[in-house]
A and B are shown apart, each in its own frame.
Chain A
Amino acid sequence: MPRGKSTFSGWQGTVLVAITYVHFLIFAQFAFLKRMASLGIADAHLKAVMAAMAFGGILFSLLVPRVWKSVSPHACLRLGLLVSSVAAFSTLLPLTLAASFVVAFVIGVGLAVVTVTIVTFLPVWTGGRDSLFKVALGTGLGYFLCNFPPLFTASPEAQAITAGVLCLVGIVVTLAPAPEPGAQSTPEPREPIPFVLVLIGFTALVWLDSAAFFIIQNSAALKAVTWQGSLHLWMNGTLHLWAALAAAFLLRRRGLSFTLAAAFCALAAACLLLLDPRPSLLASIFYPIGVSLYSVALVAYPSLLAPSASAGERGRRAGWLYAVAGWIGSAMGIGMGQNLGHVPAAFIVAAGLGVLSPLLIQLFRHRRREVVLTVLLAIVALYLDRGPLSVKAHPALSQVERGRKVYISEGCIHCHSQYVRPNSPDVLMWGPVESIADLRAQHPPLIGNRRQGPDLTQVGLRRSPLWLKAHFCNPAEVSGSSIMPTFCFLFNDSRGDDLVAYLASLHGQGSDQHIAEISHWQPSQDAWTHADAALGERIYHQRCATCHASDGQTRLAWESGFKRLPPDLATGPYFRLSPADAAGARLQRLARITKFGIPGTDMPGHEYLSDHDITSVAVWLSQIIAQPTQQQ
C-alpha cells in the first residue's frame, strides 16, 4: 500500500466521530434549546420536550443492537445520520408544542442510532491502525469546531443547518471505500474492569460535566469569565483538542481507569472552582480538559478498550453506556444545575468514589499492605489527635487573639516581619523597637524571616482599621503597585475583622516618643535639591489619588467609612496646613505627612519611600495646592 494512503487510512472514523459530536453538542444540546426558547417553549413544556428527546435516546440506544442482525452497520449508520439531519432541518419550521415533542424524540432516536452504531463498529471506519488516535482526533476536532467562535455565536438556525449538512456529509463519508483492516493496535492489556463499574464511572463523569455546563451557561457572571469572547472560545477549543489527544496517549499507556481518574480530577476541580466566581477562570481550564479526557474514552470503550467480545455484546454494552451514562447522567446533571445551582462537595466525593473505584480496587489488590498500613496509622493518628493529644478547650478567645490566629493561618509571616531592628533604619520607618521580653511573651513570636512588605510590629500605630480593611480587600488599589494578594475572602466571615482588630492592636510602649521623633523628621537637603515634581506627580497618581482625588477608587468605595473624608487636594480644605507657615515649613510639613501619614487618622504613611520620592511628592503637591485660608 502506498505510504500516503496508509497514513490517511481510516480518516472516515475521525470525520464521523467529529460530526457526531458537533451534531450532539452544538445542535442537540445548544441550538435546539435556543430554538425552543425562540418558539416560546419554556419551563415545564421545555422539560417535557427534553424528556421526549431523552426517551427516544434511551429507547433506541437499547433497541439498536437488536436490529443489526437484519441491517448492516453501514446502512444503520446512514439511516441514523439521515434521521439526525432531517431532525436538525425540521427545527427551522415554526414548530408547535406537539411537533416539538416529535422532533425532540426524533433527535434522540437519531443520536442513539448514530452513536451506538459508530462505537460498536469503530474499526469498520477507523481501520486497524491507530484507532485510538483517530477517535481522539475526531473527538477533539468535534469539540474544537463547537467552540469555533463563528459557529458558537451563530444563530440557532445557522447551527441547525450546519448540523444537518454535516450529517449529510457523514452519509457521503460512509460511502467512501472502507479502510484497510490491518492489524488492530490496541492498548497494552490490563486487568479487565467490571462493566458495571465502568458504567458507574462514566455516569458520574457525564453527570458532573452536564451540571457544570448548565451552571456556567445559566450564570452570567460565570459565563463572562469562562465562555464569552473569542479568546475564551479559542482557548476552550484548543484545550479540548489537546486534552483529547492526551486522552489517546493516557488510554494507551495508563489504561482506562487512570484516564477516567484524571478526567474526574479535572472535572471535580472545575466544579469546586465554580462554587466561587472569583477563581472560575481556572475552572474554564479544567472543565474542557476533563470533558475531552472522558469523551474519548466513552467513544473508544466498547470497541477498543473493553475485553474482546462479539459485536452483539459490544453493542449491548454501548447501548447501556449511552442510555444510562449518556442520557440519564446528562439529565441528572442538568437537573442538579437547575435545582441547586451548584455541584455539592458531597456529591463530588460520591462521584469520585464511583469513578475511582476501579483504580482503588486495583490499588488495594496490588498494594494491600501499603493501603492497610496507611489507613490504620491514619486512624491511630486520628484517635491520638482527638483523644490523648487533643488540645484542651480554650476559654473564649478575644477578637485580637482570633485575629492573631488568622495572621498565622494565612502565612503572613512569610512576607511581613514583626521585628524592628534597633539602631537601624527600621526604627524610623516602622518603630519603635519592641523589647525581647515583650517578644518572648508572645506564643509563638512572629518575627518572620523575609520581608516582601513592611514590618508590622507597630502597624496599629501607622494604619487605621479602615485602611487595613480597604487594603486587604484591594491592595493594589489602595497602595499603588502593591504585590500583596487580596484577602477579601476573609471578610465573608469574621476572620477579616478579627485580623484587622489584631493588626490595629499592634502598637506598644514608646509610641508617643516615636510620634514625637517623627514629628521632627526632615528629608535630607540633597533630596530637596534633586526633588522632581514630575516624579512626584507620578507617585501621587499611583499612591495618593485613590483617596485624595474626587473620583479616587478607594475614596468612592469606602466613603462612609472614613473618620473624615480625605480632602480633595485639588480644592481643599487642607486641615493640616497652616496659613501662617512659610513656604519652606509648608514643604517640610507636606513631606512629613507623605512619609509618616497622620497618626490617629485614616491617612497612612509611605515610610519605605526614599527621601527623593518624598520630596518630589511634596514639591508637586505644593505646586497644585492653593494657599490655605484661615477658615480651612
Chain B
Amino acid sequence: MLTRDDIAAPCDKSLAVVSAAWHGLFWLVFANGVGTLLAVLLLVPALNPILGEWTYGRWIMVHMNIMLYGWTSLPLVGFLFRVYGADRGAVAPWCRPILWVWSAALAVGVCSWLSGHSSGKLFLDWSGYARVFFPVALAALWLLLLAALVRNRNHASNAHLATKAAKLAGLFILAMVPFLLYHSAGPDFYPAVNPDTGGPTGASQLESSLGIVAVMLVLPFGLAHRNPASRRILLTAWFVLIAESVLCVMLGTSDISHRVPAQYLSLGTLLVWLPLMPAYYCAFAWHPETRRWRGAFLWWWSALVVTGWIFFLPGVLDRFKFTDGLVGHSFVAMAGFTSSLIIFVSIQLLGQHGWIFNRSRSFYAWNLSVIAYILIMTVAGWREGFDPAFTIVPGPARNLLYSLRLVTGILMLLASLDWLVDASTVLRRPSSQFTHQAQEKAA
C-alpha cells in the first residue's frame, strides 16, 4: 500500500524498478527475435538444416517460456520490490542481484531447452538442473521480500494492520510458488481434460481466468492511491470474484466436455468483468503517463474476455481447436492483454521514466501489429478448420498469410527493441543519481 507521500511523487526512479523493467524488456526482445525466427522457418523450411539440432520444436519452447517467465514476470518482480519496500533502505542493493539470478536461471533454461531437455508440458518446460535453479531464484526473491518486510515493519507504508496482514498473506502465497512450480513441472501432474477437444475444461479456464482477475484486483493497491467514494465498486468487484470462485469450486475438476451447458455458461460469467474492470481501475489515481497504456490494457482485457468465451462455445471451439485460430487467441492473451498490463504497471512504477513506453511509434507499431496478427491467424485458423491440409501442405494462400504474420512479428520486434534501447539509456545514468533519489525517498 502506498503512502500519501508516494502518491504525491508517483514517478519513482529507483534503480531496482528500472532494472526489473530492463531485464523484462531484454527477454521480450530475445523472445520476439526467436518468434521472428520461427515465423521465418514456417515460411522457408529450407532454412531448418542450418540450425542443426536447434530445430523449430526446441526454439518454440524457448519462445513460449521466455515470454512467460521473462517478459511477463520480471516487471512484476519490480512491482513486488516496490510493494514490499525492497527498493529502499538496506535491502535495496540486493534487488539487482536477485534480477541477475532470475535472468541467469532463464539463461540456463534457454540452454536446457535448446539442448533438448523438456518436461513435455506447455509453459512448464522445466527439466533437470533448470527445474531446480529457477525455483531457487524464486525462493531468493521471496527471502528478499521477507527481509524487506521485516526491515520496513515500522515504515509509514505499513502503519495499518490490514496492510501488514495483506503483505504477509501475499508472502505466504508467494512462498508456495517455487514448490508448486517444481511439482507441476513433473510428469505425474496434468490438469483436467476436455474429452471432446483434448484442451482445458470450462472449469479450468474459469479457474485460471479468476486467478488473473484476482491479480488485477490486487495490483492497484500496490501501485496507486484509492479515490475517495470508490468503496462500492471495490466491494462489488471483490464480491463478484468470490461468487465466481465459489461457482468454480462447484464445477469440480473432472474431465468434462465444453458442450455441457454448465461449462460454457459458467465461463460466460466472466463477461461481467467487461464493465466492472474499467470501473474498478477508475477507482484509483494513476500517473498521467499511464493513460495510453491503461486504455490499451482495458481494451485488450475486454477483447480477451469476449473472444475467450466465444472461442470456447460448442461449434466454435470444435472448428478452431489445434489451428492457428487459437494461436491468434493466445496472442490476444499474451501480446495484447498481458503485455499492455505489464507496460501499464511498469509506467506507473517508473513514473517520469515511463516515457520509454510512451513513444507513439512503438505504441502503434505494437498494438496494430498485434491486432493484424490476430486477424491473420483467425483467418488462417478458419480455413484450417475446414481443411487441415491448408497448413500441412503449404499453398499460396497460407504462405501469403504467414508472410503477413512475419511482417507483424518484425514490427513487434522493432517496437520492443525501441523500449529496450530507451530503458538502457535510463539505466546507464550514473547509479549515484538513483541512490541519491532513493535516499531522498527513504528520508
Contact = CB atoms under 8 A, between A and B. Distances in A.
A130 B276 CA distance: 61
Interface string B371-395: 0000000000000000111011110
For chain B, what secondary structure do more than half of its interface residues adopt (helix, strand, loop), or is it mixed? Answer: helix
B195 interface: yes
A369 interface: yes
Interface in B174-211: 182, 187-190, 193, 195-199
Nearest to A273: B52
Nearest to B45: A483
B116 interface: yes
Contacts of A414: 56-57, 60-61
Contacts of B108: 378
Given A452-B391, A608-B393, A413 B198 contact: no
A443 B197 contact: no
Nearest to B330: A449
A449 B327 CA distance: 9
B91 to A, nearest CB: 12
Interface stretch (B2-10, B131-139, B212-220): B131-139
Contacts of B322: 417, 419, 448-451, 455
Interface stretch (B74-82, B119-127, B160-168, B337-345): B119-127
Given A282-B50, A447-B193, A370 B318 contact: no
Nearest to B60: A414
Given A421-B198, A481-B394, A411 B58 contact: yes
A489 B52 contact: yes
A485 interface: yes
A339 interface: no
A436 B104 contact: no
B48 interface: yes
Contacts of A422: 195-196
B326 interface: yes
B120 A408 contact: yes
A506 to B, nearest CB: 15
Interface stretch (B93-101, B223-231, B354-362): B93-101
Contact of A389 (B101, B119, B132, B197): B132
B81 to A, nearest CB: 15
B118 interface: yes
A421 B104 CA distance: 41
A121 interface: no
A279 B392 contact: no
B220 to A, nearest CB: 31
Nearest to A416: B57
A451 B53 CA distance: 21
B129 interface: yes
Given A381-B133, A486-B48, A444 B57 contact: no
Interface in B13-69: 41-42, 45-46, 48-53, 55-58, 60-61
Given A436-B193, A481-B393, A369 B133 contact: no
B140 A377 contact: yes
Residue from B49, B323, B388, B391 whose CB has the most chain A CB atoms within 10 Å: B388
A377 B136 contact: yes
A385 interface: yes
B393 A411 contact: no
A476 B45 CA distance: 9
A446 B389 contact: no
B128 interface: yes
B195 A436 contact: yes
A83 B384 CA distance: 72
Contacts of B387: 610
Interface in A409-428: 409-415, 417, 419, 421-425
Interface string A367-383: 10111111001101110
Given A373-B101, A414-B56, A447-B193, A452 B94 contact: no
Nearest to B389: A608
A279 B57 contact: no
Given A411-B60, A449-B199, A483-B42, A380 B118 contact: no
Interface in A381-439: 381-382, 384-385, 389, 407-415, 417, 419, 421-425, 429, 436, 439
A373 B116 CA distance: 28
A45 interface: no
Contacts of B121: 444
B151 interface: no
B403 to A, nearest CB: 14
B49 A485 contact: yes
B418 interface: no
Contacts of B244: none
Nearest to A433: B195
Given A380-B136, A436-B195, A444 B190 contact: yes
A426 to B, nearest CB: 9
B255 interface: yes
A631 B132 CA distance: 66
Contact of A412 (B57, B113, B323): B57
Contacts of B190: 440, 444-445
Nearest to B102: A374
B51 A279 contact: yes
Given A385-B129, A451-B322, A278 B97 contact: no
A454 interface: yes
Contact of A483 (B98, B120, B394): B394
Given A409-B118, A436-B193, A483-B42, A451 B48 contact: no
B321 interface: yes
Contacts of B133: 377-378, 381, 385
B393 to A, nearest CB: 6
Given A374-B97, A374-B101, A439 B51 contact: no
A178 interface: no
A570 interface: no
Given A374-B101, A451-B391, A413 B129 contact: no
A281 interface: yes
A609 interface: yes
Residue from A281, A414, A610 whose CB has the most chain B CB atoms within 10 Å: A414
B49 A373 contact: no
B363 to A, nearest CB: 28
Contacts of A425: 388
B441 interface: no
A369 B94 contact: yes
Interface string A204-244: 00000000000000000000000000000000000000000
Contact of A410 (B96, B101, B116, B196): B116
A439 B393 contact: no
Contacts of A443: 187-188
Residue from B61, B105, B116 whose CB has the most chain A CB atoms within 10 Å: B116
Interface in A173-200: none
Contact of A608 (B52, B132, B196, B388): B388
Contacts of B113: 411
Contacts of A281: 50
A350 B321 CA distance: 50
A608 B385 CA distance: 12
A287 to B, nearest CB: 14
Given A373-B140, A410-B116, A489-B52, A480 B57 contact: no
A276 interface: yes
Contacts of A447: 193, 198-199
Given A455-B322, A608-B393, 16 more contacts: A279-B51, A279-B52, A367-B100, A369-B97, A373-B97, A373-B98, A381-B136, A385-B129, A385-B133, A408-B119, A414-B60, A439-B193, A450-B326, A451-B388, A451-B392, A486-B48
5 contacts: A278-B50, A378-B104, A422-B195, A445-B190, A448-B322
Shortest 6 CB-CB contacts between residues of A and residues of B: A411-B57, A419-B198, A485-B48, A409-B116, A408-B120, A381-B133
Interface of A: 273, 276, 278-279, 281-282, 367, 369-374, 377-378, 380-382, 384-385, 389, 407-415, 417, 419, 421-425, 429, 436, 439-440, 443-455, 476, 480-487, 489, 608-610, 613
